[in-house]
Amino acid sequence: MPAPCKVGIIAALEREVWPFIRDWTTVRSEFDGRDFKFFEKKSVVLVCGGIGAEAARRAAEAIVNLYRPELLISAGFAGGLDPAFPIGQVVMPRYVIDAKDGSRTDCGTGEGLLISFAAVANVEQKNKLWQAYGAQIVDMEAAAVARSAEAHGIKFLACKVISDTSRSTLPPISSFVDRDGRFHSFGFIAHVALRPWLWAKVYRLASDSAIAAQRLCSVLTENFGSFSQDRDVPVLRAQKTRW
pLDDT reading at 66 higher than 70: yes
154-176 pLDDT, tens per residue?
999 999 999 999 998 877 777 77
The percentage of residues in the chain with a pLDDT greater than 90, rounded to a whole number, is: 68
Helix (H, G, I), strand (E, B) or coil at 57: helix
Q: What is the mean pLDDT of residues 50-71?
A: 94
217-226 pLDDT, tens per residue?
999 998 887 7
131-149 pLDDT, tens per residue?
999 999 999 999 999 999 9
Superfamily grouping for domain 7-170+212-227:
Nucleoside phosphorylase domain (3.40.50.1580)
Whether the pTM exceeds 0.85: the reply is yes
Tell which wins on pLDDT, 240 or 31: 31
Other Cβ atoms within 10 Å of 215 Cβ, number: 19
Tell which wins on pLDDT, 237 or 216: 216
| Mean per-residue pLDDT over the chain, rounded | 88
